């Protein structure tokens, strides 16, 4: 794989770390899509001090990425140059307190919701349906069923790219739709979420309702990245995708979900390029059919495996993998639904623990 930024000594010489460090570490096993490339260096710090010390001593020129549960990410097939940080065990504690929950950034949203429910606290039920980590939830202002991080976040502790530790109040994050204004390069390590005493049966009923609604409407057991595109103002992305005839469209091993057409799924053998290329094809078709340019909600990081071409898509220039054509069907895109022998559901994703 490519190496980071021609940094002298990298990755041969790296700062000391108490946690785990792995060179050329595949990321696909962590990703909900089960696709994509490797991290040049994968670092799992032991705790916040370890993370802060490591980043302080890491040369500034080395690119740093942070990943959570990878439920909103496409890691391109050429992988991530530099250092990829994945918070694990030392960041997954959950403490129930009066007025809410303090959780490490690696704690899964669903686990936090379950702890709140067990303690008779209401306000965090919406987290039970979001398959990410708390750090990713802050970064994305994750939300569902009337709740989002913006409404419950009291404070978030971060470590900056230069290894400083700060505590930010919710109001400092200028939350917007699926967006938080975290300082560039900041890694969320711990948060406090507000919740208030509630009736346990009502909390349990709300969580059961969320689960049932999701299972009925989304391919929650598939290899997916959740909603692919943001809902344009006053519109639903899935309705535009449906109107453009993209439901069931395939490219290589990637497919637009038949169940919820704003979800892309890996039917088994998709590369990240298949998934991203299919998303770009959907954008092209929606633009042609409706005049609306969809914006990605899924974040795409890293480098394509092959030689990229730059193809104008809608109003922006996008780097897409070789093999995608600007007009007509990209290589390998099919109009039909599931390839023979593949299923949309029943794939083994489930909820991943980030504390590996």
Q: Which is nearer to ligand FAD, 7 or 112 (CB)?
A: 112
Please, what is the minimum distance in Å from the beta carbon of residue 344 to ligand FAD? 12
- Strand, coil or helix: what is 126? helix
Please, what is the minimum distance in Å from the beta carbon of residue 210 to ligand FAD? 9
Strand 73-75 and strand 299-301: the pairing is parallel
Nearest to 335 by CA among 285, 297, 298, 269: 285
Please, what is the minimum distance in Å from the beta carbon of residue 323 to ligand FAD? 26
CA distance 191 to 155: 6
Q: Which is nearer to ligand FAD, 68 or 279 (CB)?
A: 68
Residue 89 appears among annotated catalytic residues: no
Catalytic residue among 40, 125, 157, 297: 297
Please, what is the minimum distance in Å from the beta carbon of residue 319 to ligand FAD? 18
Burial of 348 (0-12, 13-18, 19+ CB in 10 A): exposed
Residue 317 appears among annotated catalytic residues: no
Nearest to 327 by CA among 270, 263, 280: 280
Please, what is the minimum distance in Å from the beta carbon of residue 72 to ligand FAD? 3
Residue 97 appears among annotated catalytic residues: no
Q: Which is nearer to ligand FAD, 183 or 306 (CB)?
A: 183
Q: What are phi and psi of 79, to 5 degrees?
A: 85, -175
- Contacts of 80 by beta carbon, 8 Å cutoff, 6+ apart: 27, 37, 38, 39, 40, 63, 65, 301, 302, 303
Nearest to 43 by CA among 75, 20, 16, 66: 20
Q: Which is nearer to ligand FAD, 72 or 324 (CB)?
A: 72
Q: Which is nearer to ligand FAD, 266 or 324 (CB)?
A: 266
Beta strands of 268-351 (E only): which ranges?
299-301, 309-313, 316-320, 333-334
Residues of this chain that bind ligand FAD (CB under 6 A): 32, 66-73, 87, 105, 129-133, 135-137, 139-140, 142-144, 187-188, 218, 220, 224-226, 299
Catalytic residue among 178, 223, 247, 300: 178
Please, what is the minimum distance in Å from the beta carbon of residue 69 to ligand FAD? 4
Catalytic residue among 71, 133, 227, 257: 227
**Partner residues linked to 334 by β-bridges:** 250
Q: Which is nearer to ligand FAD, 58 or 187 (CB)?
A: 187
**Structure-block tokens of residue 109:** 């949203």
Question: CB neighbours (10 Å) of residue 326?
Answer: 12
- The DSSP call for residue 214 is H
CA distance 107 to 156: 14
Which residues participate in catalysis according to the annotation? Answer: 178, 227, 297
């Amino acid at each position: 794989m490519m190496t980071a930024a021609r940094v002298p000594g990298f990755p041969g010489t790296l700062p000391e770390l108490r946690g785990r460090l792995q060179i050329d570490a595949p990321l696909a096993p962590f990703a909900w899509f089960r696709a994509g490339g490797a991290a040049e260096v994968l670092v799992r710090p032991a705790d916040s001090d370890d993370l802060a010390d490591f980043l302080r001593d890491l040369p500034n020129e080395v690119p740093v990425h942070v990943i959570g549960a990878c439920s909103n990410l496409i890691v391109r097939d050429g992988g991530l140059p530099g250092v990829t940080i994945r918070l694990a065990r030392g960041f997954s504690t959950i403490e129930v307190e009066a007025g809410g929950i303090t959780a490490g950034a690696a704690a899964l949203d669903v686990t936090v919701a379950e702890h709140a429910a067990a303690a008779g606290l209401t306000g965090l039920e919406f987290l039970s349906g979001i398959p990410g980590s708390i750090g990713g939830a802050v970064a994305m202002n994750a939300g569902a069923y009337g709740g989002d991080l913006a409404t419950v976040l009291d404070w978030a502790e971060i470590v900056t790219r230069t290894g400083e530790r700060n505590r930010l109040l919710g109001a400092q994050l200028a939350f917007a739709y699926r967006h938080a204004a975290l300082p560039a390069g900041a890694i969320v390590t711990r948060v406090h979420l507000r919740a208030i005493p509630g009736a346990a049966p009502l909390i349990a009923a709300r969580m059961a309702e969320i689960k049932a609604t999701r299972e009925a409407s989304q391919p929650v057991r598939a290899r997916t990245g959740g909603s692919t595109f943001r809902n344009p103002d006053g519109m639903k992305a899935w309705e535009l995708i449906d109107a453009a005839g993209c439901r069931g469209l395939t490219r290589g091993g990637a497919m637009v979900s038949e169940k919820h057409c704003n979800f892309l799924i890996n039917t088994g053998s998709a590369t990240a390029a298949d998934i991203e290329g299919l998303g770009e094809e959907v954008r092209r078709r929606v633009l042609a059919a409706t005049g609306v340019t969809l914006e990605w909600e899924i974040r795409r990081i890293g480098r394509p495996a092959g030689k990229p071409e730059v193809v104008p898509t809608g109003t922006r220039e996008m780097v897409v993998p070789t093999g995608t054509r600007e007009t007509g069907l990209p290589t390998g895109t099919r109009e039909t639904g599931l390839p023979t022998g593949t299923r949309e559901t029943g794939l083994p994703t489930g909820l991943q623990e980030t504390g590996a």
